[in-house]
Amino acid sequence: MTLMTPATDASRLRRPALCRALQWLMPLLCLLALTWPVVGRAALVTSIEVERAVWADPTGEARLEEVLGQAFQPAPTIVARGYQRGATWLRVTVPATAVAPLWATLQPLYLDDLQLYSRQRGPDGRLGPWTMRQEGDRFPFDQREKPTLNYSLALDTSATEPTVFYVRLRSTSSHALYVNVRTQNSALEFEGLTLLWLGLYLGIVLVLAWMSALRFFVTRDILWAMNLCLQAGTVILTLFYLGVVAKYFMPHA
């Protein structure tokens, strides 16, 4: 004769719930595994190969006219200089291309002050004066040039000669900067794939949170409640980091 205890009753209740959760979780994991390579491939195929060079301004006071004469050093795809009091200047050279329109995308989103200096071409093809456009997380989303998750700015490129623009970074956070050049369509497609990946991720976290809540109500184990809070915190941080909160919930903040 088998004795029934509260522990065995709770175990019997948990097993069907766990099986049902796994039935939802496994397809989501499979979809995520299939989608992630597509996102990575899109990022590699649709970006334009550019030349990057960096110069550090320790004072943070240098003007563009002074910067133009400085000796820039070749830079990697992602410039990471840690925490700095001054400014970081990145020179980006786009090769001659007939592909248009092109956008410069700037990441990550938590950077305080980003300034992009570029020159527009007139009807005769001649370059005009340098103009500055500003982005950063201290500006509301609805003031951005493009309503995209990442900072996106249109470029005026040429099919016969390279195009050069400069990005100045000054931030209280780490000086990590990634500047990429894409076609307008590919930038929008990449954002769509990012949202697709985010939806799959949120689906998985929702299942995990539901499992944690169920375990807590059955066992009254505080660790499951803490795990539920961890899942909720992870979702909130992800939405802020990807710019979803700024775009859809706080566009004026």
Same domain, 37 and 101: no
Residue 1 lies inside a defined structural domain of this protein: no
pLDDT of residue 47: 78
- What is the rounded distance in angstroms from the CA atom of residue 179 to the CA atom of residue 77? 8
Based on DSSP, count helices (H) and strands (E) in the chain, helices before strands: 5, 10
- What is the rounded distance in angstroms from the CA atom of residue 179 to the CA atom of residue 155? 13
Q: Which of 32-41, 57-66, 156-165, 181-190 has the lowest mean pLDDT?
A: 32-41
Residue range 118-128: average pLDDT? 89
Same domain, 54 and 38: no
Position 4 confidence tier, pLDDT thresholds 50, 70, 90: very low
Q: Is the alpha carbon torsion for 27, 33, 34, 39 positive or negative? A: positive
Same domain, 94 and 204: no
Asked whether residue 158 carries a pLDDT value surpassing 70, the answer given is yes
Beta strands in 110-191 (DSSP E): 113-121, 127-135, 151-155, 163-170, 176-183
Residue 7 lies inside a defined structural domain of this protein: no
Asked whether residue 39 carries a pLDDT value surpassing 60, the answer given is no
Residue range 9-31: average pLDDT? 52
Query: pTM, whole model, 2 decimals?
Result: 0.79
**Rounded (10°) CA dihedral 138, 139, 145, 148:** 70
pLDDT of residue 52: 98
Same domain, 94 and 150: yes
pLDDT of residue 125: 79
pLDDT > 70 in the chain, percent: 82
Amino acid letter, 248: Y
Same domain, 89 and 140: yes
Same domain, 158 and 198: no
Place of tokens 């240098």: 62
Residue 29 lies inside a defined structural domain of this protein: yes
More reliable by pLDDT, 12 or 131: 131
- Model confidence over 197-228: pLDDT tens digits? 899 899 889 888 898 899 899 998 999 999 99
- What is the rounded distance in angstroms from the CA atom of residue 214 to the CA atom of residue 249? 29
Residue 253 lies inside a defined structural domain of this protein: no
List, edge to edge, every strand of the sheet that includes 73-74: 73-74, 51-57, 87-94, 163-170, 113-121, 127-135
Residue 231 lies inside a defined structural domain of this protein: yes
Same domain, 163 and 57: yes
- What is the rounded distance in angstroms from the CA atom of residue 28 to the CA atom of residue 198? 12
Same domain, 158 and 208: no
- Model confidence over 139-149: pLDDT tens digits? 999 999 999 99
The total of structural domains in the chain comes to 2
Q: Whole domain around residue 83: which residue ranges?
A: 48-183
- Residue 90 host element (H or E): strand 87-94
pLDDT of residue 44: 46
Q: Choose one of 167, 183, 199: the last residue of a domain.
A: 183
Same domain, 26 and 121: no
- The CATH number of residue 85's host domain is 2.60.40.2380
Residue range 162-180: average pLDDT? 94
Q: Choose one of 157, 183, 209: the last residue of a domain.
A: 183
Same domain, 70 and 160: yes
Same domain, 113 and 215: no
Q: Choose one of 183, 205, 226: the last residue of a domain.
A: 183
Position 3 confidence tier, pLDDT thresholds 50, 70, 90: very low
* Closest listed residue to residue 134, CA positions, set 101, 103, 183, 170: 170
Same domain, 130 and 159: yes
